[in-house]
């Protein structure tokens, strides 16, 4: 597999490059954000190992930029600090896993193997269907360029519908996944929230993305 190693500590980079090469990987080393972005634009990588602190920028921002271009390459983030906020920021930026320095090489090797085993999927941190988008980490939703203010329940409802875009979600599915066991028990609670969500998503000249499938449930579709 072809690996892009982004690490400004040359001694560590040499150790990791040697280790991964011994496992049969082809490793390209970049010591800066700029060099990494250039290498990623030119080559097809199967994995990116990304240090958080780099001389010309920050690994989290680079990770977010790579995801924003639609790259689904697995990203393993290396953080020197055992700070929870760094891990959270890394994962929310689209990293698949992280490792805190110092680490033993066999742990990195095991995580690399695990990441390369996973089927490639959309790893964008933002959920989207047509012009409806939702960022679970930033807790924001948009239709086109317009941000939609949602209540926590509406947010969770839209999140669930987006993850199953194109599929019919029954009222029972929605009650099961969006409401806890203590919902107020109104039989039309789902319909009421769907109606509110639909009203908020409504924009003149744009089709309604939320379809009602009579007698069954609801479906979010890309009507463009």
- Applying CB under 5 A, which residues contact Ca ion? 8, 51, 53
Between 8 and 92, name the residue whose CB sits nearer to Ca ion: 8
Between 8 and 46, name the residue whose CB sits nearer to Ca ion: 8
Between 28 and 51, name the residue whose CB sits nearer to Ca ion: 51
Q: 104 to each of 22, 78, 88, how far by Cα in Å?
A: 16, 12, 22
| Least spacing, CB of residue 32 vs Ca ion, in Å | 10
| Least spacing, CB of residue 140 vs Ca ion, in Å | 30
Q: Which of 147, 52, 154 is nearest to 95 (CA)?
A: 52
What would the two tokens of residue 62 be? 């680079």
| Least spacing, CB of residue 149 vs Ca ion, in Å | 39
Q: Which residue is nearest to Ca ion (CB)?
A: 53
Find out whether the peptide bond into 57 is cis, omega within 30 degrees of 0. no
Q: How many CA atoms lie within 13 A of 90 on its CB side?
A: 27
Between 8 and 135, name the residue whose CB sits nearer to Ca ion: 8
Contacts of 183 (CB under 8 A, 6+ apart): 175, 189
| Least spacing, CB of residue 53 vs Ca ion, in Å | 4
Q: Which of 56, 21, 53 is nearest to 37 (CA)?
A: 56
């Amino acid at each position: 597999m072809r690996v892009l190693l982004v690490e400004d500590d040359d001694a560590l980079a040499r150790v990791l490059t040697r280790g991964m090469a011994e496992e049969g990987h082809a490793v390209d080393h970049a010591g800066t954000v700029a060099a990494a972005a250039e290498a990623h634009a030119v080559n097809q990588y199967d994995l990116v190992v990304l240090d958080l602190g780099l001389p010309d920028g920050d690994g989290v921002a680079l990770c977010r930029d790579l995801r924003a271009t639609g790259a689904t390459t697995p990203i393993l983030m290396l953080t020197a600090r055992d700070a929870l906020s760094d891990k959270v920021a890394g994962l929310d930026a689209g990293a698949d896993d992280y490792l805190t320095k110092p680490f033993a090489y066999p742990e990195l090797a095991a995580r690399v193997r695990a990441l390369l085993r996973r089927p490639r999927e959309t790893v964008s941190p933002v959920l989207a269907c047509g012009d409806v988008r939702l960022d679970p980490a930033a807790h924001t939703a948009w239709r086109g360029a317009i941000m939609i203010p949602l209540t926590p329940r509406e947010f969770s409802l839209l999140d669930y519908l987006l993850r199953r875009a194109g599929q019919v979600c029954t009222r029972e599915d929605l009650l099961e996944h969006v409401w806890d066991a203590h919902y107020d028990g109104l039989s039309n609670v789902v319909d009421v929230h769907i109606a509110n969500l639909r009203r908020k998503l409504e924009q003149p000249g744009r089709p309604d993305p939320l379809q009602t499938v009579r007698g069954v449930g609801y479906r979010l579709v890309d009507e463009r």
